[in-house]
Structure 1
Amino acid sequence: MSAEKGLTVPGSTVIALFVTLGLLLPAVAWRLGDTLESEEAILEGDLHAPDGRFDASWTLAGSRLRVSEGEGEDRSIGTCTVSIESDSGDAITTHFERNGTISDVFFLDPDGDGDSDVIVWITSAGSGSYAQVMGCHFDGSQWQLTDMTEIPAPLDIGYMGHDTLSRTVELLRRSFPIYRQRDTNASPTGIEKVLLYNFITGSWNLDPTQY
């Protein structure tokens, strides 16, 4: 008695499926982020301490969040501290190394679960002004960190820093000039490239509205 034969799927069908998913996932993430809107974070006081370092606090969804550069550290390199104040008044804190100074902090809720992630944008010292992007998610008991800095190939072709990050609804945008082979650091001649962070796949993708 012969065994039953399983369903055979042509290789071309499998390839087409993966290509389709590769095209759909960025679009789905863009559409989801473009339609959600999280609660606004309210800044308390100034963004900088009297000594000039970044040290700011916000109220968001009943919690108090603080993002700061290490006290007494060099401005161009050091640590970043992110903390949330619990109901008891205790601060639950996480730290990571920073290569530059904090340029801005964004609060996004890309999956619409009501809990905003803290996105810290750091700009390196020197003429390159490279971005370091760190995502901080609080799960109710501890912080989870995601390094969002890397631009995957081939999207990094012509990249030499000078990033600008911005938030539109629950989308995180990253733009930078494209450098051609003979361009100097101060004079890029390529077009501006615009990327969106895909929180589903954890990677940067081309902004579908720009291309």
Structure 2
Amino acid sequence: MGKTSKTGYPQKENPALLTLLTLFLKKSLKPLLTLFVSGTLIACGTLKNQQDTVPDCPGLSARDRQVEVCVTVPGHEPESIGTLQITLHSALHYPLHNKSKQQNLELERDGSLERLWLLPEPSGYPVVILLTRSVGSGSYPDLQGLQRVNDEYQPFKLAGLSEQQRLGYMGHDQFQVMAGQLYRRFPIYRQTDANISPSGGQACYYYDLKKVAWLQCPD
């Protein structure tokens, strides 16, 4: 039955007008729905990559179900060189147990402390990666790690770039952890490039803990 107008007489529906109105609404709402869904996915991805921090840690910190890590730099040391003071609380047994073991470690620091990551390991205890960066023009990075060995975390140095990978390398690295993997990207310089104007593109590598090497990023 048709709708009733303000005058009280039956009002006929217009099929053509309804079709145009439906198409208009679909086109208008589609970008909003896409934006909503994309925003939701981006937010979830961001939250998934975030690491929990340790309460009351005055420096950089991270934690998961097996370990808590707090890294500080003594206040009397210069920014460019010194030490890293590390406190770890790790579960005595995997999975999480009520009791934990504390370790206090000191590592040499070449540069300012910048980032801290936890990378998953099959053992259940994550590998701790520490990034410090020099204050020079290239902002060269220094990467150190802590790995669980015989119920204790032991320090190790991450391998550097190979001779071939260092061709055109002048620092300015950017690091990111995705899907539990540490990636690094940096600009490639040609011989005539100024420090602020690299023209050789960008290199991308990820770190393989088993092979102890930086490997080419997949295409």
Normalising by structure 2, we get a TM-score of 0.67
Match of 2:79 in 1: 75
Q: Does residue 1:122 correspond to 2:126, yes or no? A: no
CA separation of 1:124/1:103 partners in 2, compared to 1, >3 Å: closer, same or farther? same
Which amino acid letter does the alignment assign opposite residue 209 of structure 2? F
Match of 1:91 in 2: 102
Deviation at 1:181, TM superposition (A): 0.3
Q: Which aligned pairs between 1:1-211 and structure 2 lie closer than 5 A?
A: 41-45=51-55, 49=58, 55-85=59-89, 91-109=102-120, 111-139=121-149, 141-148=151-158, 150-209=160-219
Structure 2 gaps of 5+ residues are: 1-47, 92-98
Q: Which has the higher helix share?
A: 2
Which secondary structure does the structure 2 equivalent of 1:200 belong to? Answer: coil
CA separation of 1:39/1:137 partners in 2, compared to 1, >3 Å: closer, same or farther? farther
Whole-angstrom distance in 1 between the partners of 2:176 and 2:56: 20
Whole-angstrom distance in 1 between the partners of 2:106 and 2:166: 28
Aligned residues: 165
Deviation at 1:40, TM superposition (A): 7.0
Normalising by structure 1, we get a TM-score of 0.69
Deviation at 1:62, TM superposition (A): 4.8
Whole-angstrom distance in 2 between the partners of 1:42 and 1:143: 20
Higher RCO (CA < 8 A, seq sep 6+): 1
Structure 1 gaps of 5+ residues are: 1-37, 50-54
CA separation of 1:75/1:174 partners in 2, compared to 1, >3 Å: closer, same or farther? same
Does the 8 Å CA contact 2:61/2:116 hold for their aligned counterparts? no
CA separation of 1:72/1:149 partners in 2, compared to 1, >3 Å: closer, same or farther? farther
Which amino acid letter does the alignment assign opposite residue 189 of structure 1? S
Whole-angstrom distance in 2 between the partners of 1:59 and 1:148: 21
Moved more, 67-76 or 196-205: 67-76
Whole-angstrom distance in 2 between the partners of 1:197 and 1:166: 11
